[in-house]
Amino acid sequence: MPKLFIQTKGYENSDRQQRKGKTAIAPVNPYNLKYPHSPKPPMTAKEQLLQEIEKSSEPLLQEVLAFLLSVRSEKYPETHKPIWQIAQEIMADVPPEIIAQLPTDGAEQHDHYIYGTPKRDS
């Protein structure tokens, strides 16, 4: 198990620092325990981009944004279909017998079909 250090007042309690009298040992709790050589988890690409964005100038950011948008539109095109095409695709597999059973006055009598209220006179 790695050696633990107790961090207090901005210093780690190493033997050398204790000899110099710079630190005092604080009560042990999970918030001040440090592992001296624990690796940091690798940054994600998004974290790296955000870090670089903070350092970059506005003209560079505009150029990078234009590049990102062009690549995204080429490789990941957004497909927008009209709602009636989506409905046609959903209904394509429904047998004609089932379609014949659907009400023809669904828009006029939607309260009846949804909530069970009495049908209105047309």
Domain count, the chain: 1
Indicate whether 61 belongs to any domain: no
Indicate whether 107 belongs to any domain: no
Q: For residue 12, which of 28, 32, 27 has the smallest C-alpha distance?
A: 32
Indicate whether 23 belongs to any domain: yes
Domain assignment of residue 14, given as a range: 5-34
Q: Looking at the DSSP assignment, which residues form a beta bridge with residue 107?
A: none
Indicate whether 88 belongs to any domain: no
**What's the pLDDT band for 36 if we cut at 50, 70, 90?**
low
pLDDT tens, position by position, 104-113: 888 898 898 8
Instruction: Return the percentage of the chain with pLDDT > 90, whole number.
Output: 32
Indicate whether 95 belongs to any domain: no
